[in-house]
Amino acid sequence: MTTVKEIRLKSRPAGLPTRDNFEVATATLRDPGPGEVQVKNLWMTVDPYMRGRMNDTKNYVPPFPLGQTLDGGAIGEITASKDPNFKEGDLVQSSFGWREGFTAPSASVEKLDAGGLPPQAYLGVAGMPGLTAYTGLLRIAALKDGDVVFVSGAAGAVGSVVCQIAKAQGRRVIGSAGGPEKVAYLQSIGVDHAINYKAETDLSAAVLEGAPDGIDVFFDNVGGSHLEAALDAARSFARFAVCGMISTYNATAPSPGPSNLRQLIGKNIRMEGFIVTHHLDLLPRFHEEMSGWVREGKVTSRETVFEGIDNAPDAFIGLFSGENTGKMLVKLA
Amino acid sequence: MTTVKEIRLKSRPAGLPTRDNFEVATATLRDPGPGEVQVKNLWMTVDPYMRGRMNDTKNYVPPFPLGQTLDGGAIGEITASKDPNFKEGDLVQSSFGWREGFTAPSASVEKLDAGGLPPQAYLGVAGMPGLTAYTGLLRIAALKDGDVVFVSGAAGAVGSVVCQIAKAQGRRVIGSAGGPEKVAYLQSIGVDHAINYKAETDLSAAVLEGAPDGIDVFFDNVGGSHLEAALDAARSFARFAVCGMISTYNATAPSPGPSNLRQLIGKNIRMEGFIVTHHLDLLPRFHEEMSGWVREGKVTSRETVFEGIDNAPDAFIGLFSGENTGKMLVKLA
């Protein structure tokens, strides 16, 4: 394989991204030099945070440059190696997603021991989304006995793991997602009260129906009216782990925050945003606990798969209309 | 003294309170029975949080009942006692403010040893506002070495103490208040960069001018555009102690929250509301440290005083137009 297709950022999206913002290009891979490997990608991930990188604004990660290949998590296998530590067929993880393959220094890829899980699980439950769920729920929100947990975007890659970890620890879980199929999925993973937010006019009331005495923990992937409902439903000393605000990522004008933020004071609420890369010290504990939960069937993996690099932009765009249940992935080979 | 004047809540304010919401009434005090004391109030406090209690809505403290005497902190002296532990002339603290005097069980008042401070300091620097400043800055925001601190409502009863504690600990302080007199006051207590927010069109820029590398701690008394500016100016891992949102207390329609709340995520910001009564365990440490700072002149007390019970409603209403620099008090005798 010396010729691969890859996806470049052609123009910066205004609002919701469209196919026109992306370009499918062809690249020729050089043969690996000393200390280099060549990789054929099997899977790549698309994640909501990538939307922020498509704007030309300062963020916690630099913007994607125009005209260049996008990047992101990928799982591949070695097809050629000039490093004795890697051999053909080895599974590797890298940040060289959005392309069918690449040649790179071996130090920029990491050998993957899938430990009995399908390799793409390392882009989901066993990867960054899983660690994000684990960090937000257990460290940021500091889940404890008796807590009632509300999760927005509960059927997504992160939210579905949050729900399952909370259930594995015996907590009551209220989850919100868009549409009856997702509600059925949430019920199948043990969520106690699943809300189809698209069918609700009063989200606060819908949360309180599932948590009549209020919620102690809110894991937010959505922002906007979900955050407002969580403030209304919060009990004293509630903790909010703010992981994402996907409802605002494509806004072309500033979206006002919740009008009931003042409740932070009277209810002594702690609200904390976080980026998972600051919590990599949790990785060993996460891998140990998560593999236990997966073995015991307490955490299962659900995926929505698009096939082929040409469809990667559609997979990404689909995140914002909720086309995915569980992890959104692109299968490249 | 058996006849006293007191202030009753005549009607619930819609928006900014007016004199018509209050009624000056006369009450006759009974002679103290066994275990009771009679008290002449010398000082009473008016505080922004009382506005919330004038609405008929659930809050962290119950609403004031219509037609009844308001309450709040007061300092008085014993005029008659049927409890051997209290004698005429003893200074006492109570929650029986908004009245010239009262008869009550001695267990409902607390003897005050002013320790060399003027007694009204126990309604300000040495009282709840001081403890609020201390708790928010040191426990909630967990002030640490090198932090740059931004305080909104910095010339108020709480804000002015926050600024002075932060300066006593050697921190750089940016303070915002309304008008040139307050800016001069902030400079006189050592604030490094004082902002007259009424003269600024871009509050974020004004904060960044005083903190070019951003802020680490935000102590919020105001909410609204101040919170928005703090989010813009925050550095990674900033901590926001949310003490008050006076800009929203008289809103008659929901006031939208900041449109840049999403920055909580990328900057890993922790934002925590608090009510001081949950932190009374800090009182001994607070009294010890605060009396030290006051003795050393590191914390000084500034008061705006209205005279006489008839003017108590005006003192209260004046809080919302910023008529006070430092603690707003009513002198009753």
Q: What is the pLDDT of residue A1?
A: 56
Whether A105 is in a domain gets the answer yes
- On whether any CB of chain B is under 8 Å from the CB of A300, the answer is no
Nearest CA in chain B to A60: B266
- Specify the length of chain A in residues: 333
Contact B141, B252 (CB under 8 A): no
Whether B287 is in a domain gets the answer no
- On whether any CB of chain B is under 8 Å from the CB of A235, the answer is no
Residues A57 and A180 in one domain: no
Q: Which among B201, B206, B270 is positioned nearest to B235, based on CA atoms?
A: B270
Distance from CA of A275 to the nearest CA of B (A): 6
- On whether any CB of chain A is under 8 Å from the CB of B34, the answer is no
Whether B286 is in a domain gets the answer no
Nearest CA in chain A to B58: A266
Residues A112 and A136 in one domain: no
CATH of the domain at B135: 3.40.50.720
Of A236, A264, A266, Cβ closest to residue B271 = A264
Q: Which among A135, A103, A115 is positioned nearest to A34, based on CA atoms?
A: A103
Q: Which among B99, B107, B93 is positioned nearest to B32, based on CA atoms?
A: B107
One pLDDT digit (tens) per residue for chain A, 333 residues: 589 999 999 999 999 999 999 999 999 999 999 999 999 999 999 999 999 999 998 777 889 999 999 999 999 999 999 999 999 999 999 999 999 999 999 999 999 998 889 999 999 999 999 999 999 999 999 999 999 999 999 999 999 999 999 999 999 999 999 999 999 999 999 999 999 999 999 999 999 999 999 999 999 999 999 999 999 999 999 999 999 999 888 888 888 899 999 999 999 999 999 999 999 999 999 999 999 999 899 999 999 999 999 999 999 999 999 999 999 999 999
Number of domains in chain A: 2
Of A52, A257, A268, Cβ closest to residue B273 = A268
Residues 6+ apart with CB under 8 A from B35: B82, B83, B105, B106, B107
Residues of B in Cβ contact (< 8 Å) with A52: 266
Subunit contact A245:B257, Cβ cutoff 8 A: no
pLDDT tens digit sequence for B287-324: 999 999 998 999 999 999 999 999 999 999 999 999 99
Contact B156, B324 (CB under 8 A): yes
Residues B139 and B186 in one domain: yes
Instruction: Give Cα separations from B190 to B112, B166, B171, B297 (angstroms).
Output: 30, 10, 11, 12
Residues A73 and A94 in one domain: yes
Residues of A in Cβ contact (< 8 Å) with B58: none
Residues B268 and B153 in one domain: yes
Whether A283 is in a domain gets the answer no
Nearest CA in chain B to A274: B268
- On whether any CB of chain B is under 8 Å from the CB of A261, the answer is yes
Q: Among positive and negative, which fits the CA dihedral A211, A212, A218, A222?
A: positive
pLDDT tens digit sequence for B113-122: 988 899 999 9
Q: What is the pLDDT of residue B62?
A: 86
Subunit contact B242:A264, Cβ cutoff 8 A: yes
Residues A262 and A143 in one domain: yes
Residues B258 and B320 in one domain: no
Residues of A in Cβ contact (< 8 Å) with B245: 261-262, 265
Residues of B in Cβ contact (< 8 Å) with A261: 223, 227, 245, 257-258
Q: What does the alpha-carbon distance between residue A14 and residue A31 come to, in Å, rounded to a whole number? A: 38
Whether A285 is in a domain gets the answer no
Residues A64 and A158 in one domain: no
Whether B283 is in a domain gets the answer no
Q: Quickly tell me which residue has 């809050």 as its tokens.
A: B59
Whether A292 is in a domain gets the answer no
Residues 6+ apart with CB under 8 A from B177: B153, B154, B155, B156, B159, B183, B185, B186, B194, B195, B196, B197, B322
Q: What is the pLDDT of residue A2?
A: 85
Residues A78 and A15 in one domain: yes
Q: What is the pLDDT of residue B1?
A: 56
Range of the domain at A49: 3-124+302-331
Contact A290, B289 (CB under 8 A): no
Nearest CA in chain A to B248: A262
- On whether any CB of chain B is under 8 Å from the CB of A224, the answer is no
Distance from CA of B93 to the nearest CA of A (A): 24
Subunit contact A273:B264, Cβ cutoff 8 A: yes
Q: Residue A280 carries which DSSP code?
A: G
Nearest CA in chain A to B141: A270
Instruction: Give the best residue of B49, B208, B218, B264 to mutate against chain A (max A CB count within 10 A).
Output: B264
CATH of the domain at B82: 3.90.180.10
Distance from CA of B246 to the nearest CA of A (A): 10
- On whether any CB of chain A is under 8 Å from the CB of B244, the answer is yes
Residues B108 and B137 in one domain: no
- End position of a domain, from candidates A262, A278, A294: A278
Whether A318 is in a domain gets the answer yes
Residues of B in Cβ contact (< 8 Å) with A141: none
Residues of B in Cβ contact (< 8 Å) with A260: 254, 257
- On whether any CB of chain B is under 8 Å from the CB of A280, the answer is no
Residues B257 and B311 in one domain: no
One pLDDT digit (tens) per residue for chain B, 333 residues: 589 999 999 999 999 999 999 999 999 999 999 999 999 999 999 999 999 999 998 777 889 999 999 999 999 999 999 999 999 999 999 999 999 999 999 999 999 998 889 999 999 999 999 999 999 999 999 999 999 999 999 999 999 999 999 999 999 999 999 999 999 999 999 999 999 999 999 999 999 999 999 999 999 999 999 999 999 999 999 999 999 999 888 888 888 899 999 999 999 999 999 999 999 999 999 999 999 999 899 999 999 999 999 999 999 999 999 999 999 999 999
How would you label A5-36 residue by residue, b for 16+ Cβ within 10 Å and e otherwise?
A: bbbbbeeebeeebeeebbeeeebebeebeeeb
Residues B145 and B259 in one domain: yes
Distance from CA of A118 to the nearest CA of B (A): 31
Subunit contact B274:A254, Cβ cutoff 8 A: no
How would you label A124-142 residue by residue, b for 16+ Cβ within 10 Å and e otherwise?
A: bbbbbbbbbbbbbbbebbe
Q: What is the pLDDT of residue A128?
A: 96
